[in-house]
Each structure stands twice: as structure tokens, then as C-alpha cells.
Amino acid sequence: MKKVIVIDDEPFILMMIEDKLKKAKIGVITLRESRNAFQVIKRERPDLVILDWMMPELSGIDLCRMIKGDSELSDIPIFMLTAKGQDSDEQLGLQCGVSRYITKPFSPKSLLEMVQETIGNE
């Protein structure tokens, strides 16, 4: 089973993504804090990480840089979630190796399609 780690400080976003992915038979680990996320990613080696940009303590973009800077993890694709209308950030996100940049509010259905497209459908 494919495995996705989702990190967002908004609990309802986590619930919604978890529900959507689990129904499509994709394993999900949700984290409400970014603080320990790097350790969890290192331990779990997910097929995909979905990150919120704006989180207290450690922002999504910093966490993204840590993942992309780690030779064992740098191949893991990253989706970045963020509030609508921050065009300049998209450039930064893409430069940091984000493979999909998704603005909130997003369609849960198309998020699932993007996940399936990226990690395959096993």
C-alpha cells in the first residue's frame, strides 16, 4: 500500500484528506505539527508528502528544504498547500523542489487525482 504523510495545523483539512485518501486505499499518516515531522518522514519513508506552507514553528517551505536537502529523502515528491493568491510564493515553492502547488480552498476530489497521478494506483 502506498503511503502519504500529510502535515497541516488545521485539523479539518487533515480529516478531509485522510478520509479521501483512505477511501482510495492509500495509507495516510497525519501530523498537526511540523516540529517532529522530519523525524517521522525519515522513519516512515512515505511515497509522497503533503505540506501546508504556513505552520507555526517550522514553515512548510523550511521543512521542504530539509527533505530536499537530505540525500535519502530528496526523491520524495512534495505537494504544497497554501492560501489562495500568493503568486510570488509559487515561484519560491517550485524552486525548492515542490512538485505540486495547491491553493486552498482546493477540491478534495482533484487532490486525490493528483496524488494518484503522482504515486500510482497500487
Instruction: Decide: is 87 part of the binding site for another protein (CB under 8 A).
Output: no
Instruction: Decide: is 106 part of the binding site for another protein (CB under 8 A).
Output: yes
Instruction: Decide: is 16 part of the binding site for another protein (CB under 8 A).
Output: yes
Give the C-alpha separation, 90 to 92, whole Å.
5
Instruction: Decide: is 58 part of the binding site for another protein (CB under 8 A).
Output: no
Of 15-23, 32-40, 53-61, 93-101, the segment contacting another protein by CB under 8 A is 15-23
DSSP 38-80: HHHHHHH--SEEEEES--SSS-HHHHHHHHHHSTTTTTS-EEE
Instruction: Decide: is 57 part of the binding site for another protein (CB under 8 A).
Output: no
Instruction: Decide: is 36 part of the binding site for another protein (CB under 8 A).
Output: no
Can you tell me whether residue 108 is helix, strand or coil?
Answer: helix
Beta bridge partners of 50: 6, 79
Q: Footprint of another protein on this chain (CB under 8 A)? A: 12, 15-16, 18-20, 84, 104-110
